[in-house]
Structure 1
Amino acid sequence: MTNKSLGDPFDPNSDLRHGAGCTCSTCHDHGHDATAGGDQHALASPHDQSGAPGDREALMDRLIESAVVRALFGHHDPSRRQVLQMMGAGTFAAALGSMFPLEAAKALLKDDLGTPEKRDLSIGFIPITCATPIIMAHPMGFYERYGLNVDVRREAGWAVVRDNSMNMEHDAAHMLTPMPLAITMGAGSSSMPFLMPAVENINGQAITLRMDHKDKRDPSQWKGFTFAVPFEYSMHNFLLRYYVAEHGLDPDNDISIRVLPPPEMVANLQAGNVDGYLAPDPFNQRAVWDEVGFIHMLTKEIWDGHPCCAFSTSRQFAEEAPNSFGALFKAIVDATHYSSDHDNRVEIAEAISGRNYLNQPTSVVEQVLTGRYADGLGEVKNEPDRIDFDPFPWHSMGVWILTQMKRWGYIDGDVDYKGVAEDVYLATDCGKIMRELGYDAPEVTYKSHTIMGKDFDPEEPEAYVDSFEIRRS
């Protein structure tokens, strides 16, 4: 397993984005072969002849050094290498040490993490690009970096993920952002306290229609259509409902919405069982690839920056194994930021496309992650933010989701919007970890959001629900 981003940060010949033995296409194209002395970034550092550190304590030291140096250069590795070539490693390290207490930070991290109570962990996931941080953290060494041995297990659908997580068959899971809220409140299942420490992705979904509906681009023409979503407690369901309602259709009476596991959506579209779906990728792009559907719109056109999927776990796991939980939390946040860097997207697409993960053509996944894609209507679009990765779980996003659960009758009665959101979404903890790892983090946990031109004020959730003409509550 390759350790990514753990080359010696004080070595101008190391590339913090790649590790010795890397199998990505970039390294292959340049003859990356550590044993043959190929590409320079495969060579062992003069400061550390073993490449990435072998024992956990050295790994933590390297992690802090790497995070600080990467943050100093805005995560632009060519600039780091250029400065080191000019200054020399010793001079640069001394200058950095005079500005930042590296040794104190290392000691603090080790004390904060502690020894994982449980190193062998199981994480359930659905094979979609939203799960990129959780998936790529496995082949690219992020879990290993934090002293964990993680088994990422592909599941058939989110009902299975939920049930296996509640039965403690998984230590953590790739969930949809509404799911931890619903599980905690007992909506759709028995009640069990769950946590959402971090978001995985923002944007990254689309509405795809069958090819014979090219002449029905106006949603007011969709009366009688059948749409698929991946789960009831999903942003897909709530965004689809919001979108059609804004165009005058009642989602419970004018269209049909059925739940389908994402891997089954393209086949059902081709068979004519559904007219379209609001779904995660790569299955929008796969419909285009198979010439059975076209992309009507990206969901970022409904709400730019909306959350979708998340890293979630039971409160029980977090309390019984706090060090394991903390190490996993850090690994996911680190992997999410790595995924957010567009320079890494092609490499990641190759790493997660294989049979053990997404099981999709690399070209399909690459179109999603890079944002340069065919839309199925004869055009090639360039939308770099088609999908992005930002771990911060805004409490205001949780409140918005709860308003939609209330609006459509998934929960009723008085709702403590802020109380539930703050209990489940660990925004403050995530911000702290982001800063510890050298990333910028918001100083607040609430902000306003704009969905289809309508502002959402998280301070007035009940008034927001009441403002909609089409609703169940």
Structure 2
Amino acid sequence: MSMFRNPFSPSRLNRSGCACGQHASLEEHNRFAAEAVDTPAASSDDQISQIVQSAVMRALFPHDESRRLFLKTVGASTALAAISQFFPLATASDVFAQGGPLEKKDLKVGFIPITCATPIIMAHPMGFYEKQGLNVEVVKTAGWAVIRDKTINKEYDAAHMLSPMPLALTVGAGSNPIPYTMPAVENINGQAITLAVKHKDKRDPKSWKGFKFAVPFDYSMHNYLLRYYLAEHGIDPDADVQIRSVPPPEMVANLRADNIDGFLAPDPVNQRAVYDGVGFIHILSKEIWDGHPCCAFAASREFVTTMPNTYKALLKSIIEATAFAQKHENRKQIAEAIAPANYLNQPVTVVEQVLTGTFADGLGAIRKVPDRIAFDPFPWESFAVWILTQMKRWGQIKGDVDYASIARQVFLATETSAVMKEAGLTPPASSTKGFSVMGKPFDPSKPAEYVASFAIRRG
């Protein structure tokens, strides 16, 4: 829970994360906070004012029942008018909106050298961190397990993660449960299935039985999209093929050495395979699910709650970089900034082909797909619900799953909306939406039914 929802100092947080110490959970605290001034949850424009009003009302009436009785007797408007005579609510709101001093200026943020990390990487050479008063060292990291471990061990303050990773960490899939947050999607689309050139005559997935595929990590959109694509073509991803985790920087070498037949990978891995003449792009991930999330900016809930001002500054840096990256006229400039050895270590032309969407596919064609990769930071809770359904489908999580609650805890849509507005972006009015994957509609309000609808599944 961040400073946007919590008007109390981090030192007052109890073990459940409730600021006032009177409620069993963050959700219960937030519900009472919205009721504190007898109003519905604030719109983004009035959010700061209502947070301050809630804090003042709680200070005067610390017990829920007495506060409710007072508000019911005199009415919220009369109560706030009276309080305003001796407490400057407007001034307090202005002060709160400005935020306090940064708790920590020198930060380490880990990243994997792929174009999915574009906002996190480019914010360093292009001055977005410096603009917010931060001295951020972006640290190139070998693989996702290392990213996870270094973040858990606090060697990194925050990190570029695969969008399923904060969910997996929070529910304890593959590790002990640790509350994590994902306030911003780094990129949407930006992946592809690439096959070795020797398989140019095997474009029908039904002919792929016995293939060996690589994905970056077990808890990745790449794994889930590959499994989804295979299963929709009647291929059991656990029985008919092999899927192994390979760090993205090692994928092309493994394809060249004939250790794998193909991969569903982030870019620029796919384009580098084409550039090196060892692979061809079979299908872009946007052709499986247009607008899907890929990577994310993530941080532990502990970092968010103990360093709220630093967290907000870091998030604002990344969202402003994301807004810059979304404009196609900036893509070539960004490619030059992030291609060097200390970042992606790729030829500029490879990075440009990915970011501009004009690229060779390895089959002799030049394709133009402007949104091959796109940048939209909003963390749709329905994205999280879909990811959780795939974890459930493939047996990564067991038992009953409270999909909506976990999605709200990890994908911080409210906080991101506020920062997006400050960055000149327009966040959506809702935190959920429906979408289709390979033509199959997904209703985020019916996740259990969605899981049960698949003929090939483990959970």
Counterpart of 1:142, as a letter, is F
Conserved in 1, the CA contact under 8 Å of 2:120 and 2:160? yes
Conserved in 1, the CA contact under 8 Å of 2:211 and 2:261? yes
Q: Secondary structure at the match of 1:420?
A: helix
Deviation at residue 172 of structure 1 after TM alignment: 0.3
Q: Secondary structure at the match of 2:426?
A: coil
2:247 aligned with 1:255, yes or no?
A: no
Q: Secondary structure at the match of 1:404?
A: helix
Give the corresponding residue for 1:432. Answer: 418
What is the distance in 2 between the residues matched to 1:223 and 1:162?
Answer: 32
2:163 aligned with 1:177, yes or no?
A: yes
Alignment counterpart, residue 375 of structure 1, candidates 361, 382, 392: 361
What is the distance in 1 between the residues matched to 2:277 and 2:94?
Answer: 54
Deviation at residue 112 of structure 1 after TM alignment: 3.1
Counterpart of 2:271, as a letter, is Q
Deviation at residue 110 of structure 1 after TM alignment: 8.2
What is the distance in 2 between the residues matched to 1:355 and 1:181?
Answer: 31
Counterpart of 1:365, as a letter, is V
Give the corresponding residue for 2:335. Answer: 349
Counterpart of 1:233, as a letter, is Y
Residues 109 and 431 of structure 1: CA distance in aligned 2, closer, same or farther (over 3 Å): farther
Conserved in 1, the CA contact under 8 Å of 2:190 and 2:372? yes
- For residues 165-244 of structure 1, the aligned pairs below 5 Å read 165-244=151-230
Give the corresponding residue for 1:124. Answer: 110
Q: Secondary structure at the match of 2:136?
A: strand
Give CA-to-partner distance per residue, 1:324-350, whole Å, 9 cap, x none.
001001111111111100010000000
Give the corresponding residue for 1:420. Answer: 406
What is the distance in 1 between the residues matched to 2:129 and 2:101?
Answer: 14
Alignment counterpart, residue 360 of structure 1, candidates 333, 338, 346: 346
Alignment counterpart, residue 140 of structure 1, candidates 105, 126, 129: 126
What is the distance in 1 between the residues matched to 2:135 and 2:94?
Answer: 23
Conserved in 2, the CA contact under 8 Å of 1:113 and 1:327? no
What is the distance in 1 between the residues matched to 2:321 and 2:232?
Answer: 36
Conserved in 2, the CA contact under 8 Å of 1:130 and 1:204? yes
Counterpart of 1:351, as a letter, is A
Give the corresponding residue for 2:40. Answer: none
* Equivalent residues, number: 369
- For residues 72-87 of structure 1, the aligned pairs below 5 Å read none
Question: Gaps spanning 5+ residues in structure 2: where?
Answer: 1-89
- For residues 267-346 of structure 1, the aligned pairs below 5 Å read 267-346=253-332
Give the corresponding residue for 1:91. Answer: none
Residues 109 and 201 of structure 1: CA distance in aligned 2, closer, same or farther (over 3 Å): farther
Counterpart of 2:266, as a letter, is P
Q: Structure 1 stretches (4+) deviating beyond 4 angstroms?
A: 107-111
What is the distance in 2 between the residues matched to 1:233 and 1:423?
Answer: 18
Alignment counterpart, residue 389 of structure 1, candidates 369, 375, 382: 375
Alignment counterpart, residue 251 of structure 2, candidates 244, 265, 270: 265
What is the distance in 1 between the residues matched to 2:267 and 2:296?
Answer: 15
Counterpart of 1:362, as a letter, is V
**Matched-pair identity in %:** 65
Give the corresponding residue for 2:434. Answer: 448
Counterpart of 1:454, as a letter, is K
Residues 283 and 109 of structure 1: CA distance in aligned 2, closer, same or farther (over 3 Å): farther
Conserved in 1, the CA contact under 8 Å of 2:102 and 2:309? yes
What is the distance in 2 between the residues matched to 1:324 and 1:157?
Answer: 26
Conserved in 2, the CA contact under 8 Å of 1:236 and 1:278? yes
Deviation at residue 437 of structure 1 after TM alignment: 2.2
Give the corresponding residue for 2:393. Answer: 407
What is the distance in 2 between the residues matched to 1:435 and 1:152?
Answer: 25
Deviation at residue 449 of structure 1 after TM alignment: 1.1
Conserved in 2, the CA contact under 8 Å of 1:395 and 1:446? yes
Q: Secondary structure at the match of 1:349?
A: helix
Give the corresponding residue for 1:157. Answer: 143
Deviation at residue 114 of structure 1 after TM alignment: 1.9
Residues 109 and 138 of structure 1: CA distance in aligned 2, closer, same or farther (over 3 Å): farther
Residues 109 and 238 of structure 1: CA distance in aligned 2, closer, same or farther (over 3 Å): farther
What is the distance in 2 between the residues matched to 1:256 and 1:146?
Answer: 46
Deviation at residue 436 of structure 1 after TM alignment: 2.2
Deviation at residue 196 of structure 1 after TM alignment: 0.3
Give the corresponding residue for 1:470. Answer: 456
What is the distance in 2 between the residues matched to 1:135 and 1:352?
Answer: 7
Deviation at residue 308 of structure 1 after TM alignment: 0.4
Give the corresponding residue for 1:101. Answer: none
Q: Secondary structure at the match of 2:341?
A: coil
Question: Gaps spanning 5+ residues in structure 1: where?
Answer: 1-103
What is the distance in 2 between the residues matched to 1:212 and 1:385?
Answer: 28
Deviation at residue 111 of structure 1 after TM alignment: 4.3
What is the distance in 1 between the residues matched to 2:446 and 2:223?
Answer: 23
Counterpart of 2:331, as a letter, is R
Residues 422 and 151 of structure 1: CA distance in aligned 2, closer, same or farther (over 3 Å): same
What is the distance in 1 between the residues matched to 2:363 and 2:244?
Answer: 26
Conserved in 1, the CA contact under 8 Å of 2:323 and 2:423? no
Residues 291 and 436 of structure 1: CA distance in aligned 2, closer, same or farther (over 3 Å): same
What is the distance in 1 between the residues matched to 2:437 and 2:196?
Answer: 26
What is the distance in 2 between the residues matched to 1:269 and 1:281?
Answer: 15
Deviation at residue 113 of structure 1 after TM alignment: 3.1
Conserved in 1, the CA contact under 8 Å of 2:169 and 2:180? yes
Give CA-to-partner distance per residue, 1:210-230, whole Å, 9 cap, x none.
000000000000000000000
Q: Secondary structure at the match of 1:355?
A: coil
The TM-score, its normalising length taken from structure 1, stands at 0.77
Give the corresponding residue for 1:457. Answer: 443
Give the corresponding residue for 1:58. Answer: none
What is the distance in 2 between the residues matched to 1:109 and 1:410?
Answer: 45
Q: CA RMSD in A?
A: 1.3
What is the distance in 2 between the residues matched to 1:283 and 1:433?
Answer: 31
